[in-house]
Amino acid sequence: MKAHTRETQATMTPQKSLQYLKEGNQRFQNNLKANRNLLEQVNDTSDGQFPFATILSCIDSRVSAELVFDQGLGDIFSVRIAGNFVNEDILGSMEFASKLAGTKLIVVLGHTSCGAVKGACDDAKLGNLTAMLSKIKPAVNAVTEPSDISKRNSKNLEFVDNVSHMNVKLTIDRIHAESPILSEMEKNGEIMIIGAMYDINTGEVTFFE
């Protein structure tokens, strides 16, 4: 499989880009990697890059977007931060990726058993981590079940995963609210912004469609 070029990137639509990621995740689950020569892709991308998707995911070592979607060099922009939330810098990076570099799809990828979400559920305090986890607290508060305070913590993995799911949705809401550029591009059909969850037990990515 060759690295994307300006010409192949131009043929990508938001829906086609999504399909590429779905097919890549299916290959990953079946342990059937696409045939790539990564050193050849290094050479092919030395003069430029033409990715088709931008993926915001967690720093979790088990959730590498390139691996779980079976993509090669030059295929995707990968933005990683604990808890996969957005801030001004990340939104700026997404705007660059979409408006200037031509990606057709933005994916906000959460995952099961997320450590950052667990920390937010437990209201953990530790240096700069305290401020970071505060970005995830709105998702914790938005999940109303269970109401029993003793079950609203990291020991309740169902609650944790529901918060992760909500965090993805609220992150997309923030993208729409805080980036007029990306919102306008999506409204015009130039890009798609979509959420997804990765299951660390199975390797499956479920998109919010």
DSSP assignment string, 7-33: HHHHT--HHHHHHHHHHHHHHHHTT--
Residue 60 marked ligand-binding? yes
Tokens of 178: 């805080």
Domain residue limits, the chain: 6-113+168-207
For 108, the 3-state DSSP assignment is strand
Residue 111 marked ligand-binding? yes
> Residues with Cβ < 8 Å from 152, sequence gap 6 or more?
121, 140, 146, 159
pLDDT at 142: 97
What is this structure's pTM? Answer: 0.94
What's the mean pLDDT when you consider all of the chain?
Answer: 95
pLDDT at 14: 97
Quickly state the pLDDT bin for 139 (edges 50, 70, 90). Answer: very high
Could you report the per-residue pLDDT of 86-128, keeping only the tens digit for each? 999 999 999 999 999 999 999 999 999 999 999 999 999 999 9
For 182, the 3-state DSSP assignment is helix
Residue 4 marked ligand-binding? no
How far apart CA 161 and CA 187 sit, in angstroms, is: 30
pLDDT at 110: 98
Residue 121 marked ligand-binding? no
Our CA angle for 44, 59, 69, nearest 5°, is 45
Fold adopted by 6-113+168-207: Beta-carbonic Anhydrase; Chain A (3.40.1050)
Share of the chain above pLDDT 90, in %: 85
For 24, the 3-state DSSP assignment is helix
